[in-house]
Structure 1
Amino acid sequence: MTQRLLAVHAHPDDESSKGAATYAHYRSIGTEVLVVSCTGGERGDIQNEALESSAMANRDMAGLRRIEMANAQAAIGFEHRWLGYQDSGLPENDEPVPANSFALIPLEISAEPLVKIIREFRPQVLVTYDETGGYPHPDHIRTHDISLYAYEAAADASRYPDAGAPWQISKVYFDRIFNAPRIEAMYQFLLVNAPETPQLAQMQEFRERMKDRPVLTTTQVPVGDFFDARDTALRAHASQVAPDSAFFFWPNDLQRQAWPFEDFQLALSLVDSPLPETDLFSGIPAEDLSA
């Protein structure tokens, strides 16, 4: 039985903040996990004032982020591919997206290498972002677009005939890891067990920010044993994740007690899998897992 999971992300570091514990969990049971980074993160700013490699970041951000990605990959054990497109940056004040960046490449062109990867890797499960990208970064929104476009095209023998034999992915998930019930659960745990901790105020801030968001989770994967591996992968992206980042506000022991899951939304499925789920591969027939 070979389970194969494909995760499509916008930039190096996104895979570590949005699903790394899940990837580590599945790797621990023998699942093949392939992460695709659509861009190289070339236009990312330094988010860590204490970055030891700041000279390299200023000179060669793309090169540094490749090194960071390799370290994160080693921490989790997934396979990795670069799709090869340029980071679009995060334009402000109605500035245009830079020419030739990922967000501006026509889908029928940018999707072809992803279709080829799907047909070569033959995953049963695809994980990506929803139509908002999780936040309004043009590369995150484009990652959603290209993922669903390639999902459909990879299964159609008439499209991209030179990209390999067609392959039908069984299930598509959107990342829902940062959600209001998770924040509420951790807030209530602190309120009862550590009411004097300064982390309670931080949690209250997140609680207020998240309270009106819809709850779209269908699938909770129990991955608390892999939170430390997730954090090691996150810290590998040192140019983007500072030691005092909000990612590390709450000790993993707390998280394991209050919310030992990573959360996803089943967006598309060709198999019968009753909700809620605890396994991204739930409902996929054994014969499909051996293909």
Structure 2
Amino acid sequence: MSSTPLRLLAVHAHPDDESSKGAATTARYAAEGVEVLVVSCTGGERGSILNPSCTLRPSTLEEMAAIRRVEMAAAAEALGVQHRWLGFVDSGLPEGDPLPPLPEGCFALVPLEEAAAPLVEIVREFRPHVMTTYDPSGGYPHPDHVMCHRVAFEAYHAAGDAERYRDQGEPWTPLKLYYNHDFSMKRIRTVHEAMTDAGLESPFGEWVETRAAREIVERQATTAVPCSDYFDRRDRALIAHETQIDPDGFFFGTPRDLEVEVWPVEEFELADSRVPTTLPEDDLFAGIRHEEIA
């Protein structure tokens, strides 16, 4: 096998997504010597203050972006990963009936090839063997999450084609593409039932009932990466996002010892592989580790 380090590129919509989706996995791989790069497509400028104990009160998009840059740097340090900004502006989550139009110039309205070009350049420069992002639904219907999927999917398939994005560097072909599955109903139900069986109040009760009522179709997870030894790093990264994460809220409602016992993994869906692999997997680099890599 080549002595060249393995490389993983995780593409996310906003700062904080990298800490709530696949974070313990990226921390584990980084600690094991894999080169891990997180890309945030937007600056999170239109994010609301979701932590009731947060005293920060930005009054402009620029002030919010500056705060979230600081938070993101702290989260990346907690996870032990590299980080890059793609440079687009948060679209916000439209609310109302009918939904209002998206803000002019926001990420979700950028033409696909224009939005994908800087990510193609990063792929060709960083040369990842594996990429992760969201499934076509975005994981939930935020326009930036859907656009993040489209951009990452485009970059994964186009970066190795010398005839496309000719000004974005030398071609590089990633070997595998995965979708994050952190909030699957299987995981939520498993943890919820374990908490109720232990006589604890579960933070997932309403979520289970609501999602079940909506009959959300579960996508098939193919890969479960053991990563419970890095839940503490994930938690530190979450807390770094002071504007977004309530330290007394949802993400910390499950005792960690119980979580480690019943759900010590993070799940992914293998969307594409250019190397032979056998499902199910327990490693994003399955089929790659024993290949000659560049």
TM-score, scaled relative to structure 1: 0.93
Q: 1:189 aligned to 182, 186, 194, which one?
A: 194
Aligned to 1:224: 228
- Give the drift of 1:203: 3.4
C-alpha distance after superposition, 1:66-116 (max 9, x if no partner): 000000011011010000000011122321111111111111111111001
Q: 1:37 aligned to 21, 36, 40, which one?
A: 40
Q: Is the 8 A contact 1:46 1:57 kept in 2?
A: no
- Give the drift of 1:209: 3.5
Task: Tell me whether 1:152 sits opposite 2:153 in the alignment.
Answer: no
SS state at 1:162 partner? coil
Q: Is the 8 A contact 1:179 1:210 kept in 2?
A: no
Which letter does structure 1 place at the counterpart of 2:56? S
- Give the drift of 1:186: 1.8
Aligned to 1:274: 278
Task: Tell me whether 1:264 sits opposite 2:268 in the alignment.
Answer: yes
Q: 2:6 aligned to 3, 19, 33, which one?
A: 3
Which letter does structure 2 place at the counterpart of 1:160? Y
Q: Is the 8 A contact 2:43 2:90 kept in 1?
A: yes
Q: 1:208 to 1:37 in 2, by over 3 A?
A: same
- Structure 2 distance, partners of 1:52, 1:218, is 41
Which letter does structure 2 place at the counterpart of 1:95? P
Q: Is the 8 A contact 1:57 1:64 kept in 2?
A: no
Q: 2:137 aligned to 126, 132, 140, which one?
A: 132
Aligned to 1:110: 115
Unaligned runs of 5+ in 2: none
- Give the drift of 1:252: 1.3
- Give the drift of 1:216: 1.2
Aligned to 2:253: 249
SS state at 2:279 partner? coil
Instruction: Give the paired residue count.
Output: 286
Question: How much is the aligned-residue C-alpha RMSD, in angstroms?
Answer: 1.7
- Structure 1 distance, partners of 2:114, 2:219, is 34
TM-score, scaled relative to structure 2: 0.93
* Structure ranking higher in helix proportion: 1
Which letter does structure 1 place at the counterpart of 2:185? A
